[in-house]
């Protein structure tokens, strides 16, 4: 059995690689901006992966497990979604071998999941690996929240996904920041506590989101609200919209958040605001634990 494995969380914009031993310890790590969009096309993924191994000074024969957008239709090769009924602990049995001859037998891609509810469907790529790590750490039941560009609210029962929903929170914030009438007032501190709570309060009233967002601008231009709080208020509105939609289902159970310290802290504040207990899990530790499960399989 190999003693080491390289796990790569290959996202749309960024890429993180971790050299993991069989106990889940991280021996080395690497992060860069070579996400799917930066690679430059399917034919360049092999060379891009070789660059990671060279940067980390790893031998060519180290086994590689990749998750995230690398397995999407725009990635290295498209890997079909698993149905949500497949237990997370069975992920190691469903890896897709990379068909590129230069990497055959040593590089594999983790499939994502699809959840179907009647005619509606939701999908994830990358989050399933973090969920596997959380399950391996003992979080087999209840609500797990993975904030980010596309935030996921996932309900687990004995390590099996019962349902999940995606909220485009991070993407909406980024889009509003880059253009439109709100962008000029979104360079303030998103961690401003008073502004963030203002946004949460508005979201908790279940007011129409588009109207609430416009009223942030109206408050600033009419000098009814401080401009320096606008970015935090908008962040609170968008995150609060998630909680307004999902928190009722988690009432009495609480949530576990897998996210970066700054983002997880905001979600913890929102959880308290909506009456939910909140546990924060370190995303790097969760990912490393997940990768060790592939090594043991």
pLDDT > 90 in the chain, percent: 90
pLDDT of residue 1: 47
Range of the domain at 174: 169-281
Q: How far apart are the first and last CA of the chain?
A: 9
The model's pTM is 0.94
pLDDT of residue 33: 94
Domains held by the chain: number: 2
Residue 96 sits in the same domain as residue 210: no
pLDDT of residue 229: 95
Over residues 86-112, the mean pLDDT reads 96
Query: Do β-strands 255-258 and 278-281 pair in parallel, antiparallel, or remain unpaired?
Result: parallel
Asked if residue 144 is part of any domain, the answer here is no
The CATH number of the domain holding residue 249 is: 3.30.420.310
Asked if residue 159 is part of any domain, the answer here is no
Over residues 268-289, the mean pLDDT reads 95
Asked if residue 23 is part of any domain, the answer here is yes
pLDDT of residue 188: 85
The string of pLDDT tens digits covering residues 178-237 is: 989 999 999 888 989 999 999 999 999 999 999 999 999 999 999 999 999 999 999 999
pLDDT of residue 22: 79
State the CB neighbour count (10 A cutoff) for residue 13.
12
pLDDT of residue 244: 95
Residue 132 sits in the same domain as residue 178: no
Q: Which helix (H) or strand (E) holds 142?
A: strand 142-146
Higher pLDDT, 22 or 102: 102
Residue 19 sits in the same domain as residue 50: yes
**CA 209 – CA 259 distance, rounded (Å):** 24
pLDDT of residue 2: 59
Residue 127 sits in the same domain as residue 236: no
Say which residue the tokens 């469903």 belong to: 94
**CA 67 – CA 110 distance, rounded (Å):** 5
pLDDT of residue 295: 87
Asked if residue 8 is part of any domain, the answer here is yes
Over residues 156-180, the mean pLDDT reads 96
Asked if residue 164 is part of any domain, the answer here is no
The CATH number of the domain holding residue 36 is: 3.30.420.300
Classify the C-alpha dihedral 93-95-101-106 as positive or negative: negative
Question: Exposure of 191 by Cβ count < 10 A (0-12 exposed, 13-18 middle, 19+ buried)?
Answer: middle
**Is 69 in contact with 12 (CB distance < 8 Å)?**
yes
Residue 35 sits in the same domain as residue 124: yes
**Is 7 in contact with 288 (CB distance < 8 Å)?**
yes
pLDDT of residue 196: 96
């Amino acid at each position: 059995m190999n003693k080491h494995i390289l796990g790569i969380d290959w996202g749309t914009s960024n890429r993180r690689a971790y050299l993991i031993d069989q106990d889940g310890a991280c021996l080395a790590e690497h992060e860069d901006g070579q996400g799917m969009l930066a690679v430059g096309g399917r034919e360049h993924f092999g060379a891009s992966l070789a660059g990671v191994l060279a940067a980390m000074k790893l031998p060519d024969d180290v086994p590689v497990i990749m998750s995230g957008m690398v397995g999407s239709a725009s990635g290295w090769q498209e890997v079909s979604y698993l149905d949500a009924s497949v237990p997370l602990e069975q992920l190691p049995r469903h890896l897709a071998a990379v068909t590129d001859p230069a990497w055959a037998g040593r590089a594999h891609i983790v499939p994502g999941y699809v959840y179907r509810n009647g005619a509606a469907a939701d999908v994830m790529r990358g989050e399933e690996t973090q969920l596997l790590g959380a399950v391996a750490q003992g979080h087999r039941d209840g609500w797990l929240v993975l904030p980010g560009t596309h935030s996921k609210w996932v309900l687990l029962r004995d390590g099996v996904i019962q349902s999940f929903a995606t909220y485009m929170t991070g993407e909406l914030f980024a889009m509003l920041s880059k253009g439109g009438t709100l962008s000029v007032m979104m360079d303030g501190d998103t961690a401003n506590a008073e502004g963030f709570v203002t946004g949460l309060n508005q979201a908790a009233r279940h007011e129409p989101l588009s109207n609430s967002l416009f009223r942030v601008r109206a408050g600033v231009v009419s000098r009814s609200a401080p401009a320096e709080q606008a970015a935090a208020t908008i962040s609170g509105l968008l995150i609060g919209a998630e909680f307004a939609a999902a928190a009722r289902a988690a009432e009495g159970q609480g949530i576990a958040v897998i996210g970066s310290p700054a983002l997880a802290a905001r979600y913890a504040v929102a959880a308290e605001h909506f009456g939910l207990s909140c546990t924060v899990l370190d995303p790097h530790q969760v990912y490393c634990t997940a990768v060790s499960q592939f090594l043991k399989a």
